[in-house]
Chains A and B, each alone.
Chain A
Amino acid sequence: METWKEFDANELTHSAAHHLLAIYGVGATYGGWARVSDIARRLDITRGSVSITLRALKRRGLVETDEHHMVKLSDTGQKAAQAVMAKRLIVKTFLSEVLGTPEPQADIDSCKIEHLISDETGERLARFTRLLTSGDPVAQAVLALFHSSHGDCPDDGNCEVCKGRCLAAELGRAI
């Protein structure tokens, strides 16, 4: 499958991931059970919208409901929610502690990415972040070099990253 199509075929949509996290969050104080109204309030959407998404999540075995219309994550749903939360934290830590992205922006960007990256990439990113933020002198030196660098482009306009074109310029701002 072409990569861009994988975005749509992703295991969890952005909306589904947020529903799982909302159920997890609301249910935390009620033995895992959450009311649709509380999920709707947390996500700032209508109860009708929540109910439609819950149908899809239930069909996939990610949530369970009872006769009082209460909702709970299934074991699979619990794992999926925890995986999303873990990836969000990994990405956020990488962005803020390695790249130096300001925390509010790191929060926003990690929220956008959390459900899109694979478990394998998440795990590798965690390892990489752990290495770079460890006390290892080489890692510390690399991190210090990165933070002191201003990303100046080479005079001949060519570098290993850009390969003949200036990606920094294409981002719409100078690094």
Chain B
Amino acid sequence: MNGVRADVISDLNRLMAEETEAFLRYFQMRFRLRGRGRRRAEKFFENALKETLEHAEALARQIQSLGHVPTLHVDLVLSGEPISAEEALAEAIDVEQQALDAYQEFLTRVTGDPVLEDFARKQVVIEAAHVQDIREALRQDPVFALVEKPTAGS
């Protein structure tokens, strides 16, 4: 179909699942937050969930443009345990880092395909900036320095 390998479509679907799951995780995380910095961390997760949804949408559009229908496999149960803002942000870094790693691996597999390579390269830049922003902010202050910055792509 359009000369696109099935494994590339599978990769795109998997990336979409990563983004969609992150969206759900961030959506719910706002309600688990407790303690110092809660409100600002909520703001961070509000921005982050919008961004992850945009990324999921972009991936779905990409799959559609390649002549396929996106398929979504998400297997998620989210605990309602209270969580500190610092711990929540640390979890977010892990999730974002995994997204970055996934896009980087995807980039190596689509290098040479002008459309997909360009798409993957842009996502890598966005995710890398996002991870860097969170890391930098956490280095400066566990919570407060973080959420005033606009998130990448938002």
Q: What residues of chain A have their CB less than 8 Å away from a CB belonging to chain B?
A: 36-37, 44-52, 54-55, 69
Contacts and interface: CB of A to CB of B under 8 A. Distances in A.
Interface string B92-113: 0011011101100100000000
Nearest to A45: B75
Contacts, number: 46
Contacts of B91: 52, 55
B105 A69 contact: no
14 contacts: A36-B101, A44-B73, A45-B75, A46-B17, A47-B98, A47-B99, A47-B102, A48-B18, A48-B22, A48-B95, A49-B21, A55-B90, A55-B91, A69-B101
A51 B75 contact: no
Interface residues of B, number: 20
A44 B22 CA distance: 16
Chain B contact surface mostly = helix
B57 to A, nearest CB: 17
A36 B97 CA distance: 11
Contact of A55 (B25, B75, B94, B105): B94
Contacts of B22: 48
Given A44-B75, A46-B17, A52 B105 contact: no
A37 B98 CA distance: 8
B125 interface: no
Given A48-B22, A52-B95, 5 more contacts: A44-B73, A46-B98, A48-B25, A51-B94, A55-B91
B95 to A, nearest CB: 4
Contacts of A48: 18, 21-22, 25, 94-95, 98-99
A49 B99 CA distance: 11
B94 A37 contact: no
Contacts of B105: 37
A46 B25 CA distance: 12
Contacts of B58: none
Contacts of A50: 98
